[in-house]
Amino acid sequence: MRYFIELQYDGAAYYGWQRQPDAVTVQGTIEDKLSMLRRVATEIVGAGRTDTGVNASFYIAHFDSDTEVDCSQLCYKLNKVLPSDIAILRIYEVEPRLHARFDAKQREYTYFLTPHKSPFRRHSAWYFTAEIDVEKMNEAADKLLEYEDFTSFAKLNSNNKTNICHISHAKWIVEEDGTLRFTIRADRFLRNMVRAIVGTLVDVGRGKYSVADFEDIIRSKDLSRCSTGAPACGLFLSDVKY
């Protein structure tokens, strides 16, 4: 039997999602507690990797079990033993062939920039005070939908079989308090891709690059052309569709 776990996490204290030797990760933390509660070694498979410091407001993982699981009880017990920066939203049975990673049709990331210094947002937004042209940033973001090869925003030595991604949405919105929210959706994302895109779009907004320059960066397929990646703290995996 296969079970999906819906969860959220603040990534500030973790070296990303994926279990690593001698490093505290979200996957490793959940697996350890799940195995303890179930009294059997239990591995989980996530919808994708998130890097060090990246958050998730909505994340999916799955695990397999030879015996039936009381989902509500397991959800309750996991939340009791997991640290406060990881929350289990619900656990439910799915068809055995449904895979949290390989069957995901769309993933959504959201990035936040705030012009207001706040100790309560240091793990959830990039504190950024420079003047930026959001209209130009959206004009550049629209160009992302016209391309498929995002080598220019792919981290080197990531062992990707392909750098092809199909982006269906990319837009900046200014919220009432002045916070900028960037939402991007695609069938897949490359490692560090969203942070590289955000950092480069912000440089468009600052006037460092024109919209034409941004399009040239995409076409160049050259990572050295893009800007420094935006800080991890502002990035959230916010949705996964199956």
- Does the pLDDT of residue 71 top 70, yes or no? yes
Mean pLDDT computed over 167-193 = 96
Active-site residues, by number, are 51
Q: What is the dihedral of CA 144, 148, 149, 154, to 10 degrees?
A: 60
Share the mean pLDDT of the chain.
96
**In the CATH hierarchy, which top-level class contains the domain 2-94?**
alpha beta
Topology of domain 106-241 in CATH is Alpha-Beta Plaits (3.30.70)
pLDDT-above-90 percentage for the chain: 95
Stated pTM of the model: 0.94
Per-residue pLDDT of 39-54, as tens digits, reads: 999 999 999 999 999 9
Q: Tokens at residue 159, please?
A: 């062992």
Mean pLDDT computed over 100-110 = 97
| DSSP code string of 141-194 | HHHGGG--B-GGGSPTT---S--B--EEEEEEEE-TTS-EEEEEEES---TTHH
Are 2-94 and 106-241 in the same CATH fold? yes
Domains in the chain: boundaries: 2-94, 106-241
